[in-house]
C-alpha cells in the first residue's frame, strides 16, 4: 500500500478543472450527472479516463477538485492509499479525517501522524498496538494499518455522532442516559485493562458516538501496554482537568482509569470537568474532590452522586478496584437497586424505594386513562350507595360495583397508554387487574353468603376489597413507581374506616379509590413528562 499520492501538476483554474469540479460537486450533492460529458465536447478525450477509471476516479483529474471545494484539510493532498480525505474532523497526537474508500465508497476515519520525531512515532505505534489488542463493541475499531506508508496513518470505523464533548447539556438533563453511557464505557475500559492496556486519557472528547448514540472509547495515543494493575511509566500523561492526583505525579494504574471514568461521568452530569483549573506542573492542584455533582445539578440523585464521587476519590484505595465494579454499580443504579457506593440503613432504603420511579416510564399517556378510571370508580360506587339507600334490586347494586372495572378492561385491550414494545408492562397490568377483579368477586360473594342484609354484606365486601387494594398497590409499587407503596399504606386505613362505618363503606371506598387513582396519574405523568423532555 502506498502513502500520499501526488498527481502531476495541472492547471487548477482552466476549463478542465471547471469540468471536473462540476462533476464532483454534482455527485457530492446527489444531482444527476448523465449529461455532464456532453457539455464539454472539447475535453472529451481528457475527461473520458475520469469516467472509465475502475474506482470512478482518475487521481490526476480528481486532484483538481480541492482548490474549488470548501474543505477543511490540513494538507493539499487528498488521497492516502485507498482513501480519499474528505474533511478534517479533529486533531490530538494525529490529524483525524473523515475519509471515503475510493473503490468501496464506505466512510472511514483516517488518523495521520501530525508530528515527526521518535516520540511522536512511538506514541502513534503504541496507539495502533493498543487498539489492535481490543475487540469490544464499545471500543473504536481499527480497520487497517498500511505496512510501509511514507506518512504513518491507520484507518478506523467512522462514527458520525461526534464525541461526548459535542453534547455538553444533553446528559445533564438526563442522568439515566449519562449512567448508561458511563457503564458502557466502563465495560470497554475493563476489557482494555484485562488485555494490559491502560488508557490514561479518558475524557468526553475521546469517546466517539455512532449513529445510534452508542459510545466507543478511542484515542489510545497515551495508552501504556502494561499488565492490569501494574504501575505505568513515570512520565505524567493525560489531560489535567480529568486526571487523577497520582497520575499528575507520574503514576498510573487501573484505578487511575477508574478515576477517568468518574471524570467522564462528572462531565456528563455537570457539563464540565472535575478539575477545570488543574495545573500539570503542580500535582497537588488535582488533589481533593470537586463539588459533588448534586451541588451543580439537582437532577442527580444521591446514589448516582455517590457512584461518581467514589470513582473520583483522591485516594486510589477509596475508588472501585476495577472498571467492572464501577459498571456494576451503575447497572445497579439503573435497575433501581441499592449501590455499593452508598450503603443504606433500613429507613433510608425504605425512603429510596418510595422515591424510585422504576418502570413508570413504560407508560406513554397514563393521565387520560387514569382520570377516566377515577371518575368511573367514584360515580359507580357512589351509585351503589344510593341504590342500597333506595332499596333497589340487588343485581343493580352488583352491576354498579363491578362496572368500575370497565375502563381498565378497555385500557388493557387497546394498550394505547403503554409505550410500544412494552409487552411485559401490559402483562403485569393484566395480571394485577384480572387478579383484583377475581379477588373482589370472591370477597363480595363470600360476604353475601355470610351477611344477613345488603348493607352488611356490602360493607364487609368493601372492607375486604380494601385489603386487596393494599396488595395491588404494593405490587404496582414494586413494578412501576415506588410512591404507590404509600397508596397501599393509605388503603390499610381505608379498610379500618369502612369496617368502623359500614353504612358509608361505598362512599368511603369511592372517595379513597378516586384519590389514589388521581395520585397515581399525577405521579406517572410527571415521570413520563420528564423522560420525554430528556430525549434519551
Give the Cα separation of 202 and 189 in Å (integer). 9
Give the Cα separation of 268 and 183 in Å (integer). 12
* Cα dihedral: 104, 107, 113, 115 (round 10): 130
In the three-class reduction of DSSP (H, G, I as helix; E, B as strand; rest coil), residue 70 is classed as coil
Instruction: For the chain, 536 residues long, give each residue's pLDDT as a single digit of tens.
Output: 333 343 334 444 567 766 776 776 666 555 566 667 777 777 777 777 666 654 454 555 555 544 444 344 444 467 788 888 888 887 777 788 889 888 887 899 998 886 665 667 777 888 888 888 999 999 999 888 887 666 788 899 999 888 998 877 789 889 999 999 999 999 999 999 999 999 999 999 999 999 899 999 998 988 888 653 444 455 567 788 899 988 888 888 999 999 999 999 999 999 999 988 765 555 554 456 789 999 999 999 889 999 999 999 999 999 999 999 999 999 999 987 889 998 765 665 655 555 565 554 455 455 566 777 788 888 888 888 898 888 888 888 888 888 877 766 665 555 554 444 455 656 777 777 788 888 888 988 888 888 777 777 888 888 888 888 888 888 777 776 677 788 888 888 888 888 888 888 888 888 888 888 787 777 666 655 554 444 43
Give the Cα separation of 515 and 525 in Å (integer). 15
- Residue reference for cell 498510573: 252
Cell of 138: 464499545
Q: Are 312 and 266 in contact (CB under 8 A)?
A: yes
Spatial CB neighbours of 133, under 8 Å, sequence gap ≥ 6: 192, 195, 196, 197, 225
Instruction: Please state at what angle helix 254-270 crosses helix 323-334, rounded to 10 degrees.
Output: 30
- Exposure string for 395-424, b = 16+ CB within 10 A, e = fewer: eebbebbebbbebbeebbeebebbeeebee
In the three-class reduction of DSSP (H, G, I as helix; E, B as strand; rest coil), residue 199 is classed as coil
In the three-class reduction of DSSP (H, G, I as helix; E, B as strand; rest coil), residue 119 is classed as helix
Give the Cα separation of 221 and 197 in Å (integer). 11
201 catalytically annotated: yes
The total of other beta-carbon atoms located within 10 Å of residue 146's CB is 17
Task: Write the DSSP string, 230-265.
Answer: S---SS--S-GGG--HHHHTT---HHHHHHHHHHHH
- Residue reference for cell 445497579: 332
Q: Return left, alpha or beta for 196; rule: phi > 0 is left, psi -120 to 50 is alpha, else beta.
A: left
Give the Cα separation of 292 and 295 in Å (integer). 5
Indicate which residue of 53, 150, 166, 201 is catalytic.
201
Cell of 475: 405490587
Give the Cα separation of 102 and 365 in Å (integer). 49
User: Cα-flanking dihedrals φ and ψ of residue 87, to 5°?
Assistant: -160, 150
Give the Cα separation of 193 and 392 in Å (integer). 77
The total of other beta-carbon atoms located within 10 Å of residue 208's CB is 26
How many residues in total does the chain contain?
536
Amino acid at each position: 500500500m502506498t502513502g500520499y499520492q501526488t498527481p502531476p501538476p495541472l492547471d487548477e483554474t482552466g476549463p478542465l478543472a471547471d469540468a471536473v469540479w462540476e462533476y464532483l460537486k454534482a455527485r457530492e450533492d446527489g444531482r444527476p450527472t448523465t449529461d455532464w460529458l456532453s457539455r464539454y465536447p472539447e475535453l472529451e478525450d481528457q475527461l473520458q479516463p475520469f469516467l472509465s477509471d475502475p474506482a470512478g476516479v482518475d487521481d490526476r483529474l480528481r486532484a483538481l477538485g480541492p482548490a474549488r471545494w470548501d474543505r477543511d484539510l490540513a494538507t493539499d493532498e487528498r488521497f492516502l492509499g485507498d482513501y480519499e480525505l474528505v474533511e478534517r474532523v479533529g486533531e490530538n497526537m494525529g490529524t483525524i479525517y473523515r475519509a471515503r474508500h475510493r473503490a468501496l465508497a464506505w466512510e472511514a476515519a483516517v488518523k495521520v501522524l501530525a508530528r515527526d520525531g521518535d516520540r511522536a512515532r512511538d506514541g502513534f505505534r503504541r496507539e495502533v498496538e493498543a487498539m489492535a489488542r481490543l475487540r469490544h463493541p464499545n471500543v473504536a475499531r481499527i480497520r487497517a494499518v498500511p505496512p510501509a506508508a511514507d506518512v504513518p496513518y491507520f484507518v478506523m470505523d467512522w462514527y458520525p455522532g461526534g464525541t461526548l464533548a459535542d453534547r455538553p447539556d444533553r446528559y445533564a438533563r438526563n442522568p439515566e442516559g449519562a449512567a448508561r453511557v458511563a457503564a458502557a464505557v466502563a465495560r470497554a475500559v475493563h476489557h482494555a485493562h484485562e488485555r494490559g492496556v491502560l488508557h490514561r486519557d479518558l475524557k468526553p472528547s475521546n469517546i466517539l458516538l455512532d449513529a445510534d448514540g452508542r459510545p466507543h472509547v478511542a484515542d489510545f495515543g497515551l495508552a501504556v501496554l502494561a499488565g492490569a494493575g501494574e504501575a505505568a511509566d513515570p512520565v505524567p500523561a493525560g489531560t489535567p482537568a480529568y486526571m487523577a492526583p497520582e497520575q499528575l505525579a507520574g503514576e498510573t494504574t487501573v484505578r487511575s482509569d477508574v478515576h477517568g471514568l468518574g471524570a467522564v461521568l462528572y462531565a456528563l452530569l455537570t457539563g464540565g470537568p472535575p478539575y477545570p483549573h488543574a495545573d500539570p506542573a503542580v500535582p497537588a492542584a488535582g488533589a481533593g474532590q470537586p463539588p459533588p455533582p448534586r451541588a451543580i445539578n439537582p437532577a442527580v440523585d444521591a446514589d448516582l452522586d455517590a457512584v461518581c464521587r467514589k470513582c473520583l476519590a483522591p485516594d486510589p484505595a477509596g475508588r472501585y478496584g476495577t472498571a467492572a465494579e464501577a459498571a456494576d454499580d451503575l447497572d445497579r443504579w439503573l435497575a433501581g437497586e441499592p449501590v455499593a457506593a452508598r450503603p443504606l440503613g433500613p429507613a433510608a432504603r425504605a425512603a429510596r424505594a418510595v422515591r424510585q420511579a422504576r418502570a413508570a416510564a413504560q407508560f406513554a399517556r397514563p393521565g387520560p386513562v387514569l382520570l377516566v378510571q377515577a371518575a368511573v370508580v367514584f360515580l359507580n360506587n357512589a351509585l351503589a350507595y344510593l341504590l342500597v339507600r333506595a332499596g333497589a334490586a340487588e343485581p343493580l347494586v352488583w352491576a354498579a360495583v363491578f362496572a368500575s372495572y370497565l375502563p381498565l378492561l378497555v385500557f388493557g385491550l387497546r394498550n394505547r397508554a403503554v409505550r410500544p414494545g412494552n409487552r411485559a408492562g401490559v402483562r403485569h397490568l393484566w395480571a394485577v387487574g384480572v387478579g383484583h377483579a377475581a379477588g373482589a368477586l370472591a370477597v363480595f360473594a363470600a360476604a353475601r353468603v355470610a351477611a344477613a342484609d345488603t348493607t352488611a354484606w356490602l360493607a364487609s365486601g368493601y372492607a375486604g376489597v380494601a385489603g386487596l387494594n393494599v396488595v395491588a398497590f404494593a405490587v404496582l409499587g414494586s413494578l412501576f413507581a415506588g410512591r404507590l407503596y404509600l397508596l397501599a399504606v393509605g388503603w390499610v386505613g381505608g379498610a379500618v374506616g369502612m369496617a368502623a362505618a359500614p353504612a358509608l363503606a361505598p362512599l368511603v371506598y369511592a372517595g379513597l379509590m378516586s384519590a389514589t387513582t388521581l395520585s397515581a396519574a399525577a405521579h406517572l405523568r410527571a415521570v413520563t413528562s420528564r423522560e420525554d423532555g430528556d430525549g434519551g
